[in-house]
Amino acid sequence: QATAWGSDEDTRRSCQSKGKTEEECQNYVRVLIVYGKKVFTCGTNAFSPVCSSRQVGNLSKIIDRINGVARCPYDPRHNSTAVITSRGELYAATVIDFSGRDPAIYRSLGNVPPLRTAQYNSKWLNEPNFIAAYDIGLFTYFFFRENAVEHDCGKTVYSRVARVCKNDIGGRFLLEDTWTTFMKARLNCSRAGEIPFYYNELQSTFYLPEQDLIYGVFTTNVNSIAASAVCAFNLSAITQAFNGPFRYQENPRSAWLPTLNPIPNFQCGTLSDDSPNENLTERVLQDAQRLFLMNDVVQPVTVDPYVTQDSIRFSKLVVDIVQGKDTLYHVMYIGTEYGTILKALSSTNRSLRSCYLEEMQILPDGQREAIKSLQILHSDRSLFVGLNNGVLKIPLERCSMYRTEGECLGARDPYCGWDNKQKRCTTIEDSSNMSLWTQNITECPVKNLTTNGRLGPWSPWQLCEHSDGDSTGSCMCRSRSCDSPRPRCGGRGCEGARIEVANCSRNGAWTPWSSWAPCSTSCGIGFQVRQRSCSNPAPRYGGRVCVGQSREERFCNENSPCPLPIFWSSWGPWNKCSVNCGGGIHSRQRSCENGNTCPGCAVEYKTCNPESCPEVRRNTPWTPWMPVNITQNGARQEQRFRYTCRAQLSDPHELQFGRKKTESRFCPNDGSAVCDTDSLVDDLLKTGKTSARIINGGWSFWGAWSSCSRDCELGFRIRKRTCTNPEPKNGGLPCVGSAMEYQDCNPHPCPVKGSWSCWTPWSHCSATCGGGHYQRTRTCTNPAPSSGEDICIGLHTEEALCNTHPCEGGWSEWSEWSLCNEEGIQYRSRYCEVHSPDSSQCIGNSTQYQDCLYNEIPVILPASSIDESTNCGGFSLIHLIATGVSCFFGSSLLTFVIYVYCQRCQRQSQESTVIHPTTPNHLHYKGNTTPKNEKYTPMEFKTLNKNNLIPDDRTNFYPLQQTNVYTTTYYPSTLNKYDYRPEASPGRTFTNS
């Protein structure tokens, strides 16, 4: 949709009468803001600025029209910017007078009082060129460049960022109708070195709210060598500068020196509704009047600019955030003074610093024109370029221009990657499988490579003539050039037609027969097809159609019978498990029938009997009998030993020592018991008979337990003792019992740290159109973590966009029903969101109409005409008389109230008249005793106008007249020259509270 908005003839003539040219005396739109369902726009209107609000769906319908002064510049060449907050307040940075000498940052509309910067104060704003404005949090930020007032030597331009609080209501007495929270700081964009090279003039900005990052295009001064750079600033760095000290000049002859910030972490504060300026003391207002320039400079994110370019000046900038294979990329689109667009990467990686991806030539060869505007529409993935005579739309994603894998990956374009399944260069959303989509952005692309030529877009259709023998006719023709790109460095030329002709009157002719298609069967009788079409040329505009068949068929493979089919037989039964417990395997088999080329395996294996085996115990043989205690009479006690081993056969690592078993017997010397011992023991017993004192052995105390043999899953530990307390002597009995003890320990299971399983395959797209998503998952089961151990770190689900093309239908949502017109009809509209809809999209009307529904009030009829059965009560003559009397007394009372109010207003106006003496110095006058009333004469006075707002805003917020005024008095030369008229007094009052 479009609408014309021009200046009327009288306004243009008035503009030209003031010395402006016809070109200047037009309506140039300088403010265009979409908020909600409205479009707020302002135009210069032939040096008579005007603003209007319009419907988004119907731009020709004007909802409201207001004065454009202080919201739009008079001169279309003046730079300006504006932003509307969520509460409907308009913040405009522009020039607010005809001559262009009064720049201001001005707030209007909304429910807060209008404010502006100090008027005609070069320390606040010194010939600024406004760039952009942003509504961020508690503040509104403005970016501009101006003559540096703090620069002592010569004249130079600095780039600035300024901010004001959105809840600022101005001062009281001081800074009345003026910002009390205005601050500004310098932006630094320079090339590092012993002597930095500064880019002082800000040309364009772009704000990324997701990362609180502001990109800016900077250039050198106009009379300097052309050079440009792109720097980025964090919002935290800007806040840090505003929290730092101020820079203040005591008087014009003193230097600018740092001054402490009285409120270093100012966050706009809170203002009460009862007394909104009660915290604005005289000292606070004095500080706000003199302290507004910050001492600290806002530093960029990186020491050096992201992009620098010599001998060229950048003009505009937009930034897009692109999801790559492994990370997010910031892609910058930079407009130049020559009419080209540079596409560059923004990266902290030094290998990708100042990395130009491509330079887009959007103008015809030989034409140069500075780019006026750059706007990016993320929902449409498009870049809009504003030129002097039109607007261009360029897609952000142009992966189809890379035909090979080398071109696709070598371009280092974050939008594009190579799909190994589709074998083409696609975006990440159009990829068939994320795991098969690759990118390689590790360094800047190499430009001086051999480049094959590729045909560019077709030109518009144009009328042309053709001659075919004796007949001639007209056609539609179009052409394209080999310039996207041109062949370079020995590259191949373009392949394909350069010219297309259409809509010519000619007879149809057959194309040559195509080759025979492959046989429909690989064996056995099938058929083949070949085709031709009546398109060489096709009959058009009354031409004859082709005569004959467009399709021919023939049999094939008549002598090639099909072999017997090769297939797998059914699986056989599972054979016996290899083990009875502890986990074994068993298998089953199948055979390949009619050959041996069946795909797959002939044997299949599966685990079986996973249950653990029972514990098996085995005892060692008994040791020989050994004497342990011998008495005086030759009797003795003997012992023998054996050991028990136990194990679960499925896990030999769990083999454990069994407890030692001890068996004793008593052998008296009289032979009453049979104790079979070997001869060595008998000899020992015989030699042991001595008259020496016999000492039996005794155990020492148990030693400490040893460390456990395993940290988990059941180990063992031991402790020992010795037969030395006392040691057996002279045939004394040895100690009875075991010298070593075993004990189980650490039966708890071993700890297990969790680990991720493999990713599942990507799921199907959740939607076939309109934007869906892939999904894949993984689980923390490889292995799963035991109780109290570390879980897996990372995401268990990943998603990616897919099928982002719009769905069929194409219509937007219906707008709200309009107000009823004079004919009692209201309407609503919608628009087609598809740029070039096909036959299945945007079907139906774009506007609907309906009759208005009114709530009609029934007519009150006389009581005699109403049916008695309605039971509504009669409207008698008494009611009519009572109504008339009530109306009479009511109107009389209203007239009396209005009269009293008018008399009171007139008395207050007379009381505000200032009386002045007839003599120049009435305090020391000692003349005659003339009556007091004869020495004074009433006269006209003029109030001291403290504010400098535009008249419309001043009447909105200061409508009442008060009796306490500040006045400037003009003394008359003669007594009776002036006639005082209260209603003509131009005074404006100010309250003291």
Q: What is the pLDDT of residues 901-915, one digit of tens each?
A: 887 766 554 444 333
Listed in sequence order, the DSSP H helices in 673-772 are 679-687
Give mean pLDDT, residues 821-837: 81
List the single range of 52-61, 155-164, 189-198, 677-686 with lowest mean pLDDT. 677-686
The larger pLDDT score, comparing residue 945 to residue 171, is at 171
Give kind and range of the element (H or E) at residue 867. Answer: none
pLDDT at 387 over 60: yes
The larger pLDDT score, comparing residue 587 to residue 637, is at 587
What are the structure tokens assigned to 106, written together?
């001005």
Distance CA 203, CA 231 (A): 12
Q: What are the residues whose beta carbons fall under 8 Å from the beta carbon of 865, sequence distance 6 or more?
A: none
Q: What pLDDT does residue 857 have?
A: 39
Q: What are the residues whose beta carbons fall under 8 Å from the beta carbon of 285, sequence distance 6 or more?
A: 171, 172, 173, 174, 175, 180
pLDDT at 631 over 70: no
pLDDT at 684 over 60: no
Q: Is 784 exposed, middle or buried (0-12, 13-18, 19+ CB in 10 A)?
A: middle
pLDDT digits over 720-739, tens only? Answer: 999 988 888 887 888 988 88
Q: What pLDDT does residue 182 have?
A: 93
Say whether 659 sits in a helix, a strand or coil: strand
How large a percentage of the chain has pLDDT more than 70? Answer: 79
Give mean pLDDT, residues 918-947: 38
Q: Is 567 exposed, middle or buried (0-12, 13-18, 19+ CB in 10 A)?
A: exposed
Q: What pLDDT does residue 630 have?
A: 66
pLDDT at 693 over 60: yes
Q: What are the residues whose beta carbons fall under 8 Å from the beta carbon of 353, sequence distance 6 or more?
A: 304, 306, 347
Closest CA to 324 of 429, 230, 432, 207: 429
pLDDT at 200 over 90: yes
Q: Quote the Cα angle for 541-547-549, to 5°.
A: 125
pLDDT at 106 over 60: yes
pLDDT at 930 over 80: no
The larger pLDDT score, comparing residue 258 to residue 805, is at 258
Q: Are the beta carbons of 162 and 139 closer than 8 angstroms?
A: no
The bridge status of strand 201-208 relative to strand 847-851 is unpaired
Q: What pLDDT does residue 658 have?
A: 56
Spell out the domain ranges in the chain. Answer: 329-438, 616-673+695-745, 772-802, 915-921+929-993
Q: What are the residues whose beta carbons fall under 8 Å from the beta carbon of 305, sequence distance 6 or more?
A: 189, 190, 191, 199, 218, 229, 230, 231, 354
Give mean pLDDT, residues 43-70: 91
Average pLDDT of the residues of the chain: 80
pLDDT digits over 756-768, tens only? Answer: 888 888 888 877 6
If pLDDT is split at 50, 70 and 90, which confidence band does 680 have?
A: low
Q: Are the beta carbons of 44 and 74 closer than 8 angstroms?
A: yes
How large a percentage of the chain has pLDDT more than 90? Answer: 29
Q: What pLDDT does residue 448 have?
A: 63
Q: What pLDDT does residue 351 have?
A: 66
Indicate left, alpha or beta for 430 from its phi (over 0: left) and psi (-120 to 50: alpha): alpha
Q: What pLDDT does residue 870 have?
A: 40
Say whether 646 sits in a helix, a strand or coil: strand
pLDDT digits over 226-246, tens only? Answer: 999 999 999 999 999 999 999
Give kind and range of the element (H or E) at residue 463. Answer: strand 462-468
**CATH assignment of 616-673+695-745?**
2.20.100.10
pLDDT at 655 over 70: no
The larger pLDDT score, comparing residue 886 to residue 789, is at 886
List the single range of 150-159, 160-169, 197-206 with lowest mean pLDDT. 150-159
List of E strands, 210-313: 213-219, 227-234, 246-249, 256-259, 307-310
pLDDT at 754 over 90: no
What are the structure tokens assigned to 627, written together?
């004497």
Give mean pLDDT, residues 134-162: 92
Highest mean pLDDT range out of 138-142, 596-600, 751-755, 834-838? 138-142
Phi, then psi, of 411 in degrees rounded to 5: -70, -20
pLDDT at 176 over 80: yes
If pLDDT is split at 50, 70 and 90, which confidence band does 628 have?
A: confident
pLDDT at 161 over 90: yes
If pLDDT is split at 50, 70 and 90, which confidence band does 875 have?
A: low
Q: What pLDDT does residue 193 have?
A: 86
Say whether 511 sits in a helix, a strand or coil: coil
Closest CA to 471 of 499, 505, 501: 505
Give mean pLDDT, residues 506-518: 88
Give mean pLDDT, residues 631-639: 71
Phi, then psi, of 682 in degrees rounded to 5: -65, -45
Give mean pLDDT, residues 798-817: 77
Please count the other Cβ atoms lying within 10 Å of the Cβ belonging to residue 963. Answer: 9
Q: What pLDDT does residue 953 have?
A: 59
Q: Which residue has the tokens 């180990």?
A: 715
Q: What pLDDT does residue 9 have?
A: 93
pLDDT at 679 over 60: no
Q: Which residue has the tokens 């601050």?
A: 183
If pLDDT is split at 50, 70 and 90, which confidence band does 984 have?
A: very low
If pLDDT is split at 50, 70 and 90, which confidence band does 838 have?
A: confident
Q: What pLDDT does residue 450 have?
A: 67
Q: What pLDDT does residue 600 have?
A: 83
pLDDT at 30 over 60: yes
SS3 letters for 114-147?
A: CEECCCCCCCCCCCCEEEEEEEECCEEEEEEEEE
What are the structure tokens assigned to 840, written together?
């299945």
Give mean pLDDT, residues 953-963: 43
Q: What pLDDT does residue 92 have?
A: 95
Q: What pLDDT does residue 711 have?
A: 82
pLDDT at 919 over 60: no
pLDDT at 642 over 60: yes
pLDDT digits over 342-367, tens only? Answer: 999 887 676 676 688 888 888 888 88
Give mean pLDDT, residues 636-659: 68
Give mean pLDDT, residues 877-888: 83
Q: What pLDDT does residue 277 have?
A: 52
pTM reported for the whole predicted model: 0.51
What are the structure tokens assigned to 497, written together?
């037609």
Give the bridge partners for 191, in sequence order: 197
Q: How far is CA 793 from CA 634, 753, 754, 780, in A?
A: 77, 11, 9, 9
Distance CA 106, CA 80 (A): 11
pLDDT at 816 over 60: yes
Q: What pLDDT does residue 969 have?
A: 31
Q: What pLDDT does residue 871 have?
A: 44
Q: What pLDDT does residue 657 have?
A: 56
Phi, then psi, of 217 in degrees rounded to 5: -100, 125
pLDDT at 927 over 80: no
Distance CA 92, CA 953 (A): 14
pLDDT at 808 over 90: no
Q: What are the residues whose beta carbons fall under 8 Å from the beta carbon of 683, sequence distance 6 or more?
A: none
pLDDT digits over 250-261, tens only? Answer: 888 888 999 988
pLDDT at 946 over 50: no
SS3 letters for 616-633?
A: EEEECCCCCCEEEEECCC
Q: Are the beta carbons of 432 and 419 closer than 8 angstroms?
A: yes
What are the structure tokens assigned to 672, written together?
């009453």
Q: Quote the Cα angle for 950-178-240, to 5°.
A: 135
